[in-house]
A and B are shown apart, each in its own frame.
Chain A
């Protein structure tokens, strides 16, 4: 039996907070750009596409990091229903981080648009040109983004609940601050001196 880690590994924490910023920005960019008719529309779209691909790549890296470094266990006394909610929402978050950019890419492909990440960098299409598929993918992209926004709200609400109400170390396992020294959790070994 491997020992239970106190918190997420450094790479997982870095990826979490970087992607938190990117994904929340992306949700606001997305909802703003489709409504705007101002200059914002042009530059928000110019950010949206490369940022989406960046999130897709980071999500793949993050999935690998997570599979190689299992997250710390949830507190033993967490009610079963909350444990189920925690597991389900994390599966959903990972699925959405991977699927939404792919749906966006497929949607532009189906619409016959060149998928331009910059003035000169073009990604190949990943879906055959089809107006019907475009419409379905375009709506799917938006609804999945709304679902991601709601899941993010639940995630943030739950994190604050753990941090402010339960104060059970779940939030600090990701922030890295105020870690509980007590309990059956092994401290990391002292670092070696420089070689």
Chain B
């Protein structure tokens, strides 16, 4: 069957070498694309690693906003946002919601007062099966613009081994090198840890794009504005937020208005450190009604990744560079904690007591 002349020894070697080179080049490209060759590239894994370095590993818990509680309820749309987005959630009617309130700490046993920020995450499940997931914080601006800067902030916040606290010099150097943090810095100076999740407003921080029925795009941000304004006292219980929430829900549902802010042409959509001017058009899209709460260890929110890029038809991500980074980092955190829940080999094992950190 083989009719070819046999190859000379040098020719044979050359051909084997050619095959080897082709295969090696493919492997090297693959390794490069996967980031294994670039130890300084910010990857989702390294971002989550840094969160774990800063706060420790708490098996089964989110790597950030680890302390939280599940809530459930619904969103009653009044139809007013329909002119800007064809998402089913904005048609007049009710959409079920599974949500989560949290404190942005890596340690799920940290006291509620350890951060002045609270967060609200929501998953709206539309009748057509599409979902809208959003994670919002109780501040109007984010400290930084890019994933790289956020990673550097996390590095600056790494506790010093001797003091177990971040090195103030490193933090000062970071903020000096990042003037875009000024707006957040001004907010945080006056911010006090709220004694209730229910009296807080929650901002989308990132810009998104609404798409209306004619295919027209509208740059937007949104926030949840509470109906309740009576401050809670807090008290000595380090977990006062959950107690306050349960107490208020026992008295009745808690409500927020979903306020959509429409950008003017030229308003930045790729910079979460900048608020849009206060005269921008706002639309009250409806009412979020939360009716019940469950501990996160057993609640429906536990196994939800509140990835803000999970969006229904009619809402799209903007060019904000933080959004893909949030999606990637959340996915990494979600895989790690669900792997721990599944007790897969090589994953962290649960701590036996809250104190054992």
Q: Which residues of A contact B (CB under 8 A)?
A: 27-28, 31-42, 45, 75-77, 111-114, 116, 119-120, 122, 124, 129-132, 134-136, 138-139, 149, 153, 156-157, 160-161, 164-168, 180, 182-183
Contact = CB atoms under 8 A, between A and B. Distances in A.
Contacts of A41: 44, 324-325, 327-328
Given A111-B334, A135-B341, A156 B23 contact: yes
A26 B78 CA distance: 43
Contacts of B341: 131-132, 135
A129 B302 CA distance: 12
A87 to B, nearest CB: 19
Given A135-B341, A167-B2, 7 more contacts: A31-B34, A35-B45, A37-B44, A38-B147, A75-B1, A114-B131, A157-B19
A156 B22 contact: yes
Identify which of B27, B33, B35 gathers the most chain A CB atoms within 10 Å of its CB: B33
Interface string B101-141: 00000000000000000000000000011110000000000
Most buried by B among A37, A40, A157, A180: A37
B33 A31 contact: yes
B48 to A, nearest CB: 10
Contact of B43 (A36, A76, A153, A180): A36
B42 A37 contact: yes
A132 B33 contact: no
A178 B335 CA distance: 49
A36 B341 CA distance: 25
Given A28-B30, A120-B313, A131-B341, A35 B324 contact: no
Given A77-B2, A135-B342, A114 B43 contact: no
Contact of B303 (A27, A129, A139, A153): A129
A35 B43 contact: yes
A37 B1 contact: no
Contact of A165 (B15, B41, B331): B15
A134 B3 CA distance: 54
A165 B16 contact: yes
Given A41-B324, A156-B22, A35 B44 contact: yes
Binding site secondary structure of chain A? helix
Nearest to B44: A37
B30 A34 contact: no
Interface string B313-357: 100110101011101110110110011011010000000000000
B265 to A, nearest CB: 22
Contact of B328 (A28, A34, A77, A131): A34
Interface residues of B, number: 57
B26 A153 contact: yes
Contacts of B321: 38-39
Nearest to B307: A113
A167 B325 CA distance: 49
B1 A168 contact: yes
Nearest to A118: B313
Contacts of A166: 2
A135 B338 contact: yes
CB-CB nearest 4 A-B residue pairs: A35-B35, A37-B325, A120-B313, A131-B303
Contact of A131 (B44, B302, B309, B332): B302
Contacts of A161: 19
Contacts of A45: 327
A37 B19 contact: no
Interface string B24-67: 00110110011100000111110100000000000000000000
B288 to A, nearest CB: 20
A160 B19 contact: yes
Contacts of B4: 167
Given A37-B44, A131-B342, A113 B2 contact: no
Contacts of B317: 42
B206 interface: no
Nearest to A123: B129
B33 A164 contact: no
Interface centre among B22, B129, B329 (most CB of A within 10 A): B129
